[in-house]
Amino acid sequence: MSRKVVEELTQLINETRDYFGPEVSHVFTNQFGEIMKHDLLRKRIDMYSRNAVG
């Protein structure tokens, strides 16, 4: 992992904990602070990648 990725993930974790509380232990959460389901995360990444290309 590059240094930039580590910095971005650290920032994301800090912002998530600031918003939902220190008990949050996952990087990707839904709007309620719950763990995002793997299938939903995969679909979102696919959707964003398709939009970025075309």
Query: What six digits make up the tokens of 7?
Result: 């910095």
Q: Which domain holds residue 20?
A: 3-53
DSSP state of 34: P
- Lookup result for tokens 């650290």: 10
Q: Please state, in angstroms and rounded to a whole number, the distance separating the CA atoms of residues 21 and 52.
A: 32
- Identify the three-state secondary structure at position 40: helix
Please tell me the pTM assigned to this model.
0.65
Q: What is the pLDDT of residue 51?
A: 92
Q: What is the pLDDT of residue 36?
A: 87
Q: What is the pLDDT of residue 25?
A: 84
> For every one of its 54 residues, what pLDDT tens digit does the chain have, with 9 covering 90 and above?
899 999 999 999 999 999 999 988 888 888 888 988 889 889 989 999 999 886
The domain total for the chain is 1
Terminal Cα-to-Cα distance of the chain (whole angstroms): 28
